[in-house]
């Protein structure tokens, strides 16, 4: 597809203003498609259904991305190291779903050591909180003695969980949360966890790159209706059983 001009597109202010085709996204920086618009619920849902996500810093317009290739983690392919498997057996955390979404946002927004700011700006936090209230965004939380010590959040649309961010205040908290999420998604029929862009940390956990068309095709129809996620009693034990079964099958 031939681009009509070189450079990202400017979006109109109307929440239902259309996005350009993702094939128009730039190669450098990889995936930059459009600027502007807003973070309204209709626009965010429209974006995610097309494999587009917002990512920008303070002082910038809203930037919309659809990188090619796309880093993804099929839930059944999560890589669990020996040390992480040992950590899971110790059961250091109580894992909950959708009980502290706003607190997880705040944890993800807190600057990391060496960082001076965050991309998860207040308006982004408000937008994802609205997605959560509407039943599209979800959190997975790691708790110790009723203290939130790690977790992650993302958006569930079609057969993809669009992972947005994670944080840990205690070693391995977000990794343990991710394992629980992967097992849950696998058993609900989700096809992919979207990791957006390549990082070596995610690659070590089993993520791999796929072409953008394959990623968008995986979104498809809804696997679950919007609404809070409630895992069954005994799910943590089930996760351990799944992990051990995976280990026994490994060569």
Which region among 7-16, 90-99, 221-230 has the lowest average model confidence (pLDDT)? 7-16
Residue-number span of the structural domain to which 30 is assigned:
9-68
Cis-peptide, bond into residue 49, ω within 30° of zero:
no
What whole-number distance in Å separates Cα of residue 224 and Cα of residue 231? 13
- The reported pLDDT for the residue numbered 99 is 98
Evaluate whether residue 20 is within a structural domain: yes
| Model pLDDT, residue 5 | 57
Residue 77 and residue 63 in one domain: no
Residue 2 resides in a domain: no
- Look up the CATH number of the domain holding residue 32: 3.30.70.3550
Shared-domain flag, residues 139 and 206: yes
43 and 137 together in one domain: no
Q: Does residue 3 lie in a domain region?
A: no
Q: Percent of the chain beyond pLDDT 90?
A: 86
What was the pLDDT predicted at 251? 63
Question: Tell me: the pLDDT tens digits for 175-206?
Answer: 999 999 999 999 999 999 999 988 898 999 99
Inter-residue contact 226 to 136 (CB < 8 Å): yes
Could you give the CA distance from residue 206 to residue 68 in angstroms, rounded to a whole number? 18
- Cα Rg of the chain (Å, integer): 18
Domain shared by 136 and 78, yes or no: yes
């Amino acid at each position: 597809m031939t681009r009509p001009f070189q450079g990202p597109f400017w979006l109109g202010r109307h929440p239902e203003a259309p996005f350009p085709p993702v094939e128009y996204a730039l190669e450098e920086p990889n995936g930059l498609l459009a600027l502007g618009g807003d973070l309204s619920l209709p626009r965010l849902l429209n974006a995610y259904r097309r494999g587009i996500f917002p990512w920008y810093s303070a002082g910038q317009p809203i930037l919309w991305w659809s990188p090619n290739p796309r880093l993804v983690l099929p839930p059944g392919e999560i890589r669990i190291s020996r040390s992480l498997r040992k950590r899971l057996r110790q059961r250091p955390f109580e894992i909950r779903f959708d009980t502290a979404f706003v607190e997880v946002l705040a944890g993800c927004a807190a600057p990391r050591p060496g960082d001076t700011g965050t991309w998860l700006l207040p308006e982004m936090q408000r937008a994802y909180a609205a997605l959560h209230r509407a039943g599209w965004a979800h959190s997975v939380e790691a708790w110790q003695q009723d203290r939130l010590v790690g977790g992650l959040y993302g958006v569930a649309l079609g057969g993809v969980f669009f992972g947005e961010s994670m944080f840990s205040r205690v070693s391995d908290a977000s990794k343990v949360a991710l394992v629980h999420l992967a097992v849950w998604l696998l058993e609900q029929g989700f096809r992919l966890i979207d990791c957006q862009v390549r990082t070596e940390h995610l690659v070590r956990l089993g993520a791999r790159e796929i072409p953008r068309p394959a990623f968008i095709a995986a979104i498809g129809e809804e696997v679950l209706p919007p609404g809070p996620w409630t895992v069954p009693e005994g799910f943590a034990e089930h996760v351990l059983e799944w992990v051990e079964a995976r280990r026994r099958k490994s060569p």
